[in-house]
Structure 1
């Protein structure tokens, strides 16, 4: 096996990034017409020796060697099935029974340790048969000739339903996996729309202080100040804060992404400027204004003084204790604030639309969400195995032969036991729309598996005061997060990232350094450094590689436009 040279090894290690898997709940779209041309996929009669079959079985069986990141959540799932392991569970048995594929893990690890081990494995060229990588790692492996071209494999083996599901985000995910005209990995497509955020507010505090829900950023700032200074919890102590914030400024809950969007600032996205060129949001003047506002809130005591030392878990504990009244976050933020409701049934949280400084409807920034790709080792004899595994996973969760309560939720999230977990990208919104139609018509037949399960949780809360359904109602109820997202979409407020291509050479080399500079500078400004340091940051960003990145990104954008002509 050819080993990477030292410089490429250095780049691989430099760009190692922690993969965030934010799946608070995997919702089911359960389409009735998943298969096309009247030929539904089925696990019946798949013993065919036809090598072109989407679910043909290997005889004799083959072994697929993987590595895997584990988590406490995954361990919790396994504890509910005594005797099962990562290599022997309902999903691995299904893959072996139907496809003749035995799953084996070379090693597993949690969090940072997993990323470190993966980084060393990639740098040394000692990669498993199929490996999940980020976009930078994908390009490095392709440049080193360590992975296979999957163009023909995908076209030949992907089921019609698989192609339909993986194309729901448009061509972007496949563009991001295509290098020099070759599909070098199967994108683990993720729905950018899932990044939509909301303002989660303690409405009981609003009512107690005689305040209205915010319609502008000035309104929001006034609410934050009141939550900090006017003793909303009534204990006579100055121990409450307005806005939740963690040390990672861009957390999908308790972060600043959509707070800044209220000032037309998009610090983590490539966006179009007035001339139609792509520019990086972090160096635009609107960010400076937003930072100055956050700096003032921190100085005024509206943000926890120790937020810079607290991760999401610690900040969530403050919310649970009833110390914070405002949180920006995605739809699953309901399950973060539910911790407060569990401690205090009088704590009434509700989601509201994000607001703008202008008072107009703000744009809701949606970063390109597909960040993980499944690449196949160059020497692996069965590259089509990854496509067959994806075919079967999608079919048994969302296809015409789906067995929801066996392979998806028991109600434990057993889908997590599968090494690969593709899903329809609009399934959450689809579940909400089914629930909305059911509420309007009373017709139970419109509900598919996931929507029925959600309705059961919501009904348990509404009729039996079962607190476990509280978060589900805040997310999927008539005034929940998805009702707001539905309006975002109808009002044309969703703003998708403009750059969705393969990371350029300068992005691979420079982006990690520039991101570190950005995060350090922004954090220091919030903590009290002079706001003029933002201008210095902009100069440094351009000098240290930002100019190169911008040139390359616009070259991609120009070529994309020509390709569409």
Structure 2
């Protein structure tokens, strides 16, 4: 056991040194070459423009006006493994493809599709290197920088100003900063894919409700409180105390317990903020990191961290939670949705689900959470694309279907677009309302209180309302 503890400590120290060295090698600057990660920073290419809503004109074109002559747009995409198609449909032929063609006069074809999405970045990197790019595609910020330096991107300022819907333009009011990162010398070279909202960004300590109540709901304010609860769970239920995977992403989420704020090891990203001298440094280089490392080593020694964590990927970690091998996990706000239904079903108990707590701290003071940069993808147009306006129309159409409260669709159309996770089928043309999850929360909560479902207009709202009612009335977690 001592040998394993020593190896774990050496592993953590090596990790800290390697990331610290990488951060320091950049001269302590606030910008890095990021991965496609929420906590990444971005190297600027050229002089960034203001990108402000006020400085740009109201859209002049009617994005709904179809072309009289069919326009062809090529693209590529990576897909999730959870999308389901019906009646012989596929990624390349589905309600979205047909609607774009019928309603806009735009035929979208795919040069390639990465089923599962795991090789998308690799395939795109190869396309960048060989200059075999489609008309439009999504990229991360590293790739955006490479594309800009190679002169492969088109200035879409005019097309964006004239042919993008007002709704999409108004996303700049919610988030005025993200588009600045792809605005170079006053020209727009990339449109943010955006995200579901800052509401999704914070992390919490998730604790199994029935176990916590059986332990008489002890205080969970300090690190010592956490350790005591973990040991209580281990003594009564076996297993280990804290669910983490071999990426250590979840372990790094506990940084705020020690007043250190970290990026994600799996993405190689850093979280930058000022130290006590006012210098901006990567969190992993702050002195509080030493306390975190020492405490993590202690947790490993005490069995709070799974002794077999090195062989535990994220799927296995979640299986351990569902199977009752651990009752606590640091995670994002959707942890309850991620494991909730399976946990309730596996444990055959309506009280066997996870509830969130603010992270405890060393001294019991209120924890300060962290919000990383939330946008991970950029929609860009090939410099050789002959019709960038068509791209803006496609983006506007997808946003209209998915997020516009004034959308007019039949039930058949709505289900065709959204059932089976098909709301993500548009790929490069999927742009997300950065207020989506907050609006969804407000509308679903109001519907549950009043019974009035008339204001549930997105697939997410309808699905979550239905699931909530199913749980309230039938205790069915599915």
- TM bracket (short chain): 0.7 to 0.9
Give the CA deviation at 1:220: 1.4
- Any conservation in 2 of the 1:242–1:324 contact (CA below 8 Å)? yes
Quote the Cα distance in structure 2 between the aligned partners of 1:457 and 1:152.
43
Give the aligned partner of residue 293 of structure 1: 295
Which shows bigger deviation, 303-312 or 271-280? 271-280
Change (3 A) 1:377 1:445: closer
Give the CA deviation at 1:114: 2.7
Give the CA deviation at 1:333: 0.9
Give the CA deviation at 1:209: 3.3
Which shows bigger deviation, 83-92 or 405-414? 405-414
Give the CA deviation at 1:311: 1.4
Give the CA deviation at 1:331: 2.3
Quote the Cα distance in structure 1 between the aligned partners of 2:419 and 2:310.
37
Kindly provide the CA deviation profile for residues 161-197 of structure 1, in whole angstroms up to 9, marking residues without a partner as x.
11113542x2221111123332111111123431212
Give the CA deviation at 1:421: 1.9
Q: Which gives a bigger RCO, structure 1 or 2 (Cα 8 Å, sep 6+)?
A: 2
Counterpart check, 1:148 vs 2:154: yes
User: Which of 466, 471, 489 is the aligned partner of 2:476?
Assistant: 466
Give the CA deviation at 1:372: 0.8
Quote the Cα distance in structure 2 between the aligned partners of 1:198 and 1:421.
29
Quote the Cα distance in structure 2 between the aligned partners of 1:444 and 1:111.
35
Give the CA deviation at 1:288: 1.9
Give the aligned partner of residue 282 of structure 2: 280
Counterpart check, 1:267 vs 2:270: no
Kindly provide the CA deviation profile for residues 400-424 of structure 1, in whole angstroms up to 9, marking residues without a partner as x.
1243853467543221222222122
Counterpart check, 1:340 vs 2:343: yes
Counterpart check, 1:455 vs 2:465: yes
Give the aligned partner of residue 249 of structure 1: 248
Quote the Cα distance in structure 2 between the aligned partners of 1:290 and 1:86.
45
Change (3 A) 1:321 1:91: same
- Any conservation in 1 of the 2:467–2:477 contact (CA below 8 Å)? no
- Any conservation in 2 of the 1:165–1:423 contact (CA below 8 Å)? no
- Any conservation in 2 of the 1:342–1:467 contact (CA below 8 Å)? yes
Give the CA deviation at 1:66: 1.1
- Any conservation in 1 of the 2:153–2:381 contact (CA below 8 Å)? yes
Kindly provide the CA deviation profile for residues 206-226 of structure 1, in whole angstroms up to 9, marking residues without a partner as x.
233344251232211221122
Counterpart check, 1:157 vs 2:152: no
Give the CA deviation at 1:304: 1.4
Change (3 A) 1:442 1:341: closer
Give the CA deviation at 1:438: 4.5
Quote the Cα distance in structure 2 between the aligned partners of 1:167 and 1:231.
51
- Any conservation in 1 of the 2:448–2:465 contact (CA below 8 Å)? no
- Any conservation in 1 of the 2:275–2:286 contact (CA below 8 Å)? no
Counterpart check, 1:61 vs 2:70: yes
Kindly provide the CA deviation profile for residues 409-447 of structure 1, in whole angstroms up to 9, marking residues without a partner as x.
754322122222212222222222234445556665565
User: Which of 353, 360, 363 is the aligned partner of 2:358?
Assistant: 353
Which shows bigger deviation, 59-68 or 348-357? 348-357
Give the CA deviation at 1:341: 1.8
- SS of residue matched to 1:140: helix
- SS of residue matched to 1:68: strand
Give the aligned partner of residue 381 of structure 1: 386
- SS of residue matched to 1:412: helix
Change (3 A) 1:194 1:371: same
- Give the count of matched residue pairs: 409
Quote the Cα distance in structure 2 between the aligned partners of 1:291 and 1:94.
54
Give the aligned partner of residue 321 of structure 1: 323
Change (3 A) 1:90 1:111: closer
Give the CA deviation at 1:142: 0.9
- SS of residue matched to 2:230: helix
Change (3 A) 1:177 1:340: same
Listed as ranges, the gaps of 5+ residues in structure 1 are 1-14, 21-40, 42-50, 233-238, 469-565
Kindly provide the CA deviation profile for residues 502-542 of structure 1, in whole angstroms up to 9, marking residues without a partner as x.
xxxxxxxxxxxxxxxxxxxxxxxxxxxxxxxxxxxxxxxxx
- Any conservation in 2 of the 1:133–1:372 contact (CA below 8 Å)? yes
Listed as ranges, the gaps of 5+ residues in structure 2 are 1-32, 39-58, 264-270
Quote the Cα distance in structure 1 between the aligned partners of 2:345 and 2:279.
49
Counterpart check, 1:412 vs 2:420: yes
CA RMSD of aligned residues (A): 2.5
Give the CA deviation at 1:265: 0.9
Normalised TM-score (structure 1): 0.67
Counterpart check, 1:423 vs 2:428: no
Quote the Cα distance in structure 1 between the aligned partners of 2:353 and 2:148.
51
Give the CA deviation at 1:274: 4.5
Normalised TM-score (structure 2): 0.79
Q: How does 1:531-542 map to 2 (within 5 A)?
A: none
User: Which of 99, 106, 109 is the aligned partner of 1:101?
Assistant: 106
Give the CA deviation at 1:275: 5.3
Change (3 A) 1:107 1:451: closer
Quote the Cα distance in structure 1 between the aligned partners of 2:147 and 2:471.
50
- SS of residue matched to 1:63: strand
Give the CA deviation at 1:448: 4.6
Give the aligned partner of residue 230 of structure 2: 224
Give the CA deviation at 1:203: 2.3
Quote the Cα distance in structure 2 between the aligned partners of 1:206 and 1:303.
19
